Amino acid sequence: MVQQVRSQQSEAMTDPITETGAESSFLRPDLAAMAAYTHQAGEAGEAANQPLDPLDTNESPLDLPPALKEKLAWQYQQEIAANRYPDGGHGALKAAIAAYVNETAPDLSARPITAQHISVGNGSDELIRSLLIATCVGGAGSILVAQPTFSMYGILARTLGVPVVSVDRHEHDFSVDLEAASAAIAVAPSPVRLVFMVHPNSPTANPLTAAELDWLRALPPSTLVVIDEAYFEFCQHTTVAEVTQRPNWVVTRTFSKAFRLAAHRVGYAIAPPTLTAVLEKVRLPYNLPSFSQAAARLALAERQTLLGSIPDLITARQQLTAELQKLPNLQLWPSAANFLYVRPTQGCIPQQTCDQALDSLFRQLKAQGTLVRHTGGGLRITLGTPAENQRTLAHLQQVLGNFCHDLGS
């Protein structure tokens, strides 16, 4: 059932785009050149009639426990009036988020995070867009990203006509080329108002280094630093203390990953109150449905249970990492998140055909029944259930064996 929903989604998202021909002169020409965001490319593989292991979007492999779904259903029946707009101020949810942020950060008791520091969005994607609107839209500035990274920053910026300045990362550890970043900021045609960093980064799974953090702290107050901590719960290191000390620092997080609520689309920003006040101005009214607010509040109240599965996931990450390191044809980077990033080794693939080779690997894995994400010049593989992780290993072993044999002959 899940697979069906997914393919319907990607059809619905791609079809209208192909219709935007030159005759649609009312459209912005820059949008015609853009592709819609889909998270699943290509036609179904050999295993089309079998369910694929959905390891391409970094969701939790675990649904909410049935008892929590029952509680939520009870709330829907007894407490949520379907005919009424949701709480547009998100007061109770913001207070619960602030408490969670304080509890999971190094001592913030001198300057605690309060509900005034929190803004909630329809997924953190909405907050990313609100941040772009608040800082860059209308020719006010550009954004800086370090590739490979989360694609939504660039996609959302382009839909808003905001220029994107891209710099590279060092291949050995995927830390940002800071010299290149400083140089790019210095020559950017439109001033860089927003710097997006993921901590730990997607798709490469590396946390920010001390040098990167120092570089970010040294940016001028006219540049907003956005640290996307979508994977905080898997890494346990946060930069949230900076929010209370700097006017130009914001942390975004989501309920879509560790909290198992991707279906409910809840994200939040932790920012100085001067900034959350502006985020409140630019967001849509009633942006978060009552049911999603209830789900997020329940998830926070039950966080011991929901986050209790993370140590097992980290153990599984260590085990799968150790197994994949034994594969001779695979390059693997350490992960501080709930996914692994891999590339076939250089010896195996001529550099110029790297993307084609990756696409072929992606398709063969999919044909075996493991759906991963081909992005940023590598494959990003979400950690799933123990059974899914076993299949990931078996399928990679098989596919890489064939693959390098084909290339070698």
Ligand X SMILES: *Cc1c(COP(=O)(O)O)cnc(C)c1O
Site residues (CB under 6 A) for ligand X? 58, 123-125, 150, 198, 202, 228, 230, 254, 256-257, 267
Contact criterion met (CB below 8 Å) for 165 and 184: yes
| Sign of the CA dihedral running 393, 398, 399, 401 | positive
The DSSP call for residue 375 is E
Query: Helix, strand, or coil here: 205?
Result: coil
Integer Cα distance of 94 and 97 in angstroms: 5
H helical segments located in 121-202? 123-135, 152-159, 178-187
Integer Cα distance of 319 and 389 in angstroms: 9
Integer Cα distance of 89 and 94 in angstroms: 9
* C-alpha distance from residue 300 to each of 191, 232, 250, 268, 280 (Å): 39, 15, 21, 13, 22
Contact criterion met (CB below 8 Å) for 33 and 267: no
Contact criterion met (CB below 8 Å) for 378 and 343: yes
Q: Which helix (H) or strand (E) holds 118?
A: strand 118-122
Query: Minimal distance in Å, beta carbon 198 to ligand X?
Result: 4
- Based on CB atoms, which residue is closest to ligand X, 57 or 397? 57
- Based on CB atoms, which residue is closest to ligand X, 164 or 367? 164
Kindly report the CA angle at 380 between 31 and 122, in degrees rounded to 5?
50
Integer Cα distance of 155 and 162 in angstroms: 10
Query: Minimal distance in Å, beta carbon 267 to ligand X?
Result: 4
- Based on CB atoms, which residue is closest to ligand X, 215 or 232? 232
* C-alpha distance from residue 266 to each of 75, 146, 157, 213, 282 (Å): 18, 25, 21, 27, 17
Contact criterion met (CB below 8 Å) for 336 and 58: no
Contact criterion met (CB below 8 Å) for 229 and 259: no
Contact criterion met (CB below 8 Å) for 235 and 251: no
Query: Minimal distance in Å, beta carbon 209 to ligand X?
Result: 18
Per DSSP, what are the bridge partners of residue 267?
A: 121, 254
Size of the chain, expressed as the number of residues it contains: 409
- Based on CB atoms, which residue is closest to ligand X, 215 or 231? 231
Query: Minimal distance in Å, beta carbon 292 to ligand X?
Result: 11
Query: Minimal distance in Å, beta carbon 229 to ligand X?
Result: 9
Integer Cα distance of 101 and 271 in angstroms: 12
- Based on CB atoms, which residue is closest to ligand X, 137 or 152? 152
Query: Minimal distance in Å, beta carbon 256 to ligand X?
Result: 3
Query: Minimal distance in Å, beta carbon 337 to ligand X?
Result: 8
- Based on CB atoms, which residue is closest to ligand X, 193 or 380? 380
Using CB positions, name the residue nearest to ligand X.
123
Q: Which of 202, 197, 212 is nearest to 251 (CA)?
A: 197
- Based on CB atoms, which residue is closest to ligand X, 61 or 123? 123
Query: Minimal distance in Å, beta carbon 149 to ligand X?
Result: 8
- Based on CB atoms, which residue is closest to ligand X, 52 or 198? 198
Query: Minimal distance in Å, beta carbon 252 to ligand X?
Result: 7
Integer Cα distance of 398 and 28 in angstroms: 46
- Based on CB atoms, which residue is closest to ligand X, 37 or 323? 37
- Based on CB atoms, which residue is closest to ligand X, 287 or 368? 287
Query: Minimal distance in Å, beta carbon 202 to ligand X?
Result: 4
- Based on CB atoms, which residue is closest to ligand X, 127 or 400? 127
Secondary structure of 211-222 in HEC code, one letter for each residue: HHHHHHHCCCCC
Query: Minimal distance in Å, beta carbon 231 to ligand X?
Result: 7
